[in-house]
Structure 1
Amino acid sequence: MINPIWLNTFCTLVEVNHFTQTAERLYMTQSGVSQHIKKLEQQVGCALLERHGKTFSLTIHGQNLYQKGRLLLKEWQFLEQQLKDDSSTSGLIKIQSPGSCGLQFYQQLLALQTKHRSLSIDYRFAPNISVEQAIANHQADIGFMTQEPSLGEVSNYKIGTERLLLVTARNINNPTWQTLCDAGFIAHPDGQHHAQLLFSANYPEFEHIDQIKQTGFSNQISLILEPVCLGLGFTVLPATAVSTFNKPELINVHQLANSVNENIYVCYHRNRPLLKRMNTVIELIKTSLDP
């Protein structure tokens, strides 16, 4: 079994890229750092560093050990944290989701935090692909996604659904396929996914969103409908995002023949056990969603 102390020294050295600064960070001597690296190389039976005077580079084995070793160290830290501090209503929890989910979830989590002041909520809005990467890289404890994740490191299950809506400027009453092509698409980070779900169920002409010209883009959930209400294009958004727009009189929300709901998944790292506070958050969010 790899010595975790030597592994931590090695990973720290790779990240700091300097023997003296690594020694300072770990409260060691420079010779102590060198000894840890030498012992680790002897234990794994291969060279991890190629030394070039006072600098170094990683061998192929060193690169592989660092990539896997830093994740292993994080998992050990998580396990230690769980054993020491596993309260259902206290501690830090890092959450990420697309903005459409966050508009609804964040207010509920603030109410939870107000009730339990020792609970710290770190909530960040990000597109689905970024949420998945954050979970895989241990940068978030929980992710809520509107697409099922594909990375092997990410476990998930469905916790609810939300309706997708076509939104145009107020003057458009009959959103035919040609009308949409003429109007243009106001894109957003999950816009292609939303359009694919809604249009494939309602427009036989639809194959891909690239069939329609893009006339704008915004990655801020609260601003996506601003160009729509000015007649610069249409978009597709979850119902929560539409309901929070502060100028509803300037848009038209269309009820298409075939209603479409997108699934919402809760995601977490498959090698990390769920802490009690993580389950507290998940159960709270589940109560607000359609089954």
Structure 2
Amino acid sequence: MTTIAPPPLVPPPLTPGNRTAVRAILVIAASVLVIGCVVALGVTAYGINTLRVSNERKDLPTDLQSLTIDVGDATIRLRSDPQASSPRVDLRLLNSSRSGVRHLDVTVDAGGTRIGLTTDSPTMMDWGRMGEVTVTLPPRLASGLSVTTQQEDGALIVDADLDRLTARTADGRVVLNGAAHRVEITAKDGDVVSREPISVTEWFVAESVDGDVAVTFAGAAPRRIAATTRDGDVAIELPAKGPYFVRTRSGDTTTVRVPETTDPTRAVSEVTVRSDDGNVTVDTSKRS
């Protein structure tokens, strides 16, 4: 028995009235799309046209011992300069002329020196808030300085030898290069990394929630190292000379390739490395 397939359905031909209606719908849709694009481009161009780059510089006390930097969403750079005769802070800001202009605010009291940002007249229309705060220090002054930073969104870049660094950031990356006696870093969504091997003598503590920790130590390792994260990876590179008292915990893989001891009194450093949901590596530094 042979089955004959029914003939394909053929849409009825459009009448002149239907053609006119279809053309009208297409013209209206195209018009709406063009108008939307023009409005979006106009708003964007208006916002870009209001952006301005501003620069500001202020001197810091020459007897600086304690410095607190709280600049919200701006990037912070700490650098030492052998050519610098006195400490200073520079602000480079991409700001909107429609919003309040931000300025450096430096206060000095018995507790130390504090750097912040103030706004002339904050408004709802905020097109630009990208800024960078650079603190330049003479090396001799930097080596005895205790620095505390507080940020919501913005990188912290350290290129100086300090006495102590305490950093708290929500969404920014911390990049280390230099030396310190004590380093304590708390990050939420940012990574903590060393650009080059760093020298820390007493302790190094880095805690992140959703970021990686990847730090290499030069010279002698600090007496205490604690590097933890929840969802990231942790990679610590140590000087070859040990032994080390190492404690690790990982939600994935754990690799330890350093001289170890189970006696904390014999260890040159106590190393605690943890990741709840990532890889953990403790290895000998190849760059120290």
Q: Which of the pair has the greater relative contact order for Cα pairs under 8 Å at 6+ separation?
A: 1
**More helix per residue: 1 or 2?**
1
| TM-score, with structure 2 as normaliser | 0.21
State which structure, 1 or 2, has the greater radius of gyration over its C-alpha atoms.
2
| TM-score, with structure 1 as normaliser | 0.20
